Amino acid sequence: MPAGGHPGRAAHRSHGVVVLRSHARQHRNQHRRLKTRRFENILKELDLAFRIHAEQGSYLGGAHIELTGEDVTECTGGARGLTDSDLQRAYRSQVDPRLNYEQALELAMLIAERSKRQS
């Protein structure tokens, strides 16, 4: 990204255009033969998105997160500290890895806290 951020942001602001930007970061990374994500990486990427928007005077309008209310083990890390060896226990996704209910709640709380700091 060029110094000063994305060139389109300044152009949008100068014309009074409000742009909603969202963040979708769970569509990459693999571990062995299973498609998975590390919870800590998701947090780092979201934190970076919040920081970039704060520096540009804009707001992150949303975050696309794959999640489920089930006790799956498709993403490692989080409060329970799931590891690579836990993936086989309850990996059920046929497409993108999902955060389990604990990881999803943890992430939602962190997004809410970060959003409050920006408002």
- The pLDDT value recorded for residue 89 is 94
Helix or strand (DSSP H, E) at 23:
strand 21-24
Q: What are the pLDDT tens digits along the chain (119 aa)?
A: 445 555 555 555 666 666 655 555 544 555 557 889 999 999 999 999 899 988 988 888 888 899 999 999 999 999 999 999 999 999 999 888 999 999 999 999 999 998 888 76
For residue 1, what pLDDT is reported?
46
Q: Which long-range contacts (CB under 8 A, 24 or more apart) does 92-95 make?
A: 93/35, 93/66
Angle (CA) 109-103-77 rounded to 5° is 120
* Dihedral sign (CA 106, 107, 110, 112): negative
